[in-house]
Amino acid sequence: MAIYYLNVKTIGRSAGGKSTSAAAYRAGERIRDERTGQIFDHAHRTDVMHKQIVVPSKLAARDMSWVHDRSALWNAAELAERRGNARVAREYLVALPHELTPAQRLGLVQRFSQELADQHGFAVDFAIHAPRHHNDPRSYHAHLLTTTRELLPTGLGAKTALDLRDSERRARGLGSWLNELLTVRARWATITNEALLMANVHARIDHRSLDAQGIDREPVPHIPMGARHTEARGKRSEIAEKIRAAYRVRVQARLARTADRAPAAHSASNLEEIRREAQQSWLRLRQTKLEKLPAQPSGLAQDQARTDALKESDVRHKGRDDDLAM
CA distances from 37 to 26, 76, 79, 247 (A): 20, 14, 12, 45
Per-residue tens of pLDDT for the chain, all 326 residues: 789 999 999 999 999 999 999 999 999 999 999 999 999 999 999 999 999 999 999 998 999 999 999 999 999 999 999 999 999 999 999 999 999 999 999 999 999 999 999 999 999 999 999 998 878 889 999 999 999 999 999 899 999 999 988 888 888 888 888 889 999 999 999 999 999 999 999 999 999 888 888 888 888 888 887 888 888 889 999 999 999 999 999 888 888 887 877 665 555 556 677 777 777 776 777 677 666 655 544 444 455 545 454 444 444 444 434 433 33
Give the global pTM: 0.74
Contact by Cβ (8 Å): 309, 293: yes
How far apart, in whole angstroms, are the C-alpha atoms of residue 290 and residue 276? 21
Domains in the chain with CATH codes: 6-207 (3.30.930.30), 216-280 (no CATH), 293-326 (no CATH)
Query: End-to-end distance of the chain based on CA atoms, in angstroms?
Result: 48
The per-residue pLDDT for 290 is 65
Count of H-run helices and E-run strands, the chain? 10, 9
Residue 201: how many CB atoms within 10 A of its CB? 16
